[in-house]
Amino acid sequence: MDTLIKEIPEELRQKRGWKVELNGEAVENVFHLKIFNPKFGEVNYGMTPGGYDGWSFHGIGGGGVVTVPFSIIDGELYVGLVKQLRQNQGGEAWNVPRGFLNPNESHFKAAMREYEEEVRYLSPDRRVKPLEGENCNPNSAFFETAGKGEGVKYYSIEILPIQLELDPEQNAFKFKSGLLDPATKQAELILKCRFFAWRKSVQVADMFTVAAVGRLLAAQLVRF
């Protein structure tokens, strides 16, 4: 896999800012380090294009997708979020369905897959549409998305109001429990998705969700 990280020149190896430890022991004279997972991608440490030592992550598929479920209820935009365990955020967090691209997988196919995997429900007429805008870099200090077509792409999928009902405990809407009959494990996952007013959705701690609401708002403003 190509990476922007190169070997640190010999004359600069004593000036490294980052230190490397392996199994608790310091490793000296490191000029290039790679950690690779064939399912996700690789982390490289070495000389960055900026001329200093650093590290970066390059996804195996070159990026990812965010699929934003939404509904227009009484003229108000509601955004569908799922609560998932995000250990790096300290526990459970509300966020939009998202994920990495698989090798040789298109952004569109990944968007469909991630939505079905995380929400377990697909709008009957499969109205998945791309949200306009450039592919995003999650964190340009550490993520590589320099290749053609790489980065995170945003999609939307509209859910009809007739498919939802009010959840007074969350002050949100949810899928009607009768959508799947009989109840299954997939139905339980469906019931975990909640549609919050966009003003509440944009305040969650997940940056992908905040960006997704912005893209969705821009699309809806054009529409209306």
Which residues have a Cβ under 8 Å from the Cβ of 84 and sit 6 or more positions away? 92, 93, 95, 118
Model confidence at 114, pLDDT cuts 50, 70, 90, reads low
Mean pLDDT of 47-73: 91
Share of the chain above pLDDT 90, in %: 50
pLDDT at 100 over 80: no
Query: What separation in angstroms does the CA of 14 have from each of 9, 17, 21, 26, 33?
Result: 10, 9, 16, 14, 16
Mean pLDDT of 59-74: 88
Mean pLDDT of 94-104: 80
Model confidence at 23, pLDDT cuts 50, 70, 90, reads very high
Residue type, 123: S
pLDDT at 105 over 60: yes
pLDDT at 115 over 90: no
Model confidence at 183, pLDDT cuts 50, 70, 90, reads very low
pLDDT at 83: 87
pLDDT at 125 over 50: no
Delimit the domains of the chain by residue range: 10-59, 63-141+150-223
Mean pLDDT of 31-55: 94
Q: What average pLDDT does the chain have? A: 85
Mean pLDDT of 51-75: 90
pLDDT at 129: 84
Domain 63-141+150-223: CATH architecture, name and number where available? Alpha-Beta Complex (3.90)
Of residues 129 and 103, more confidently modeled: 129
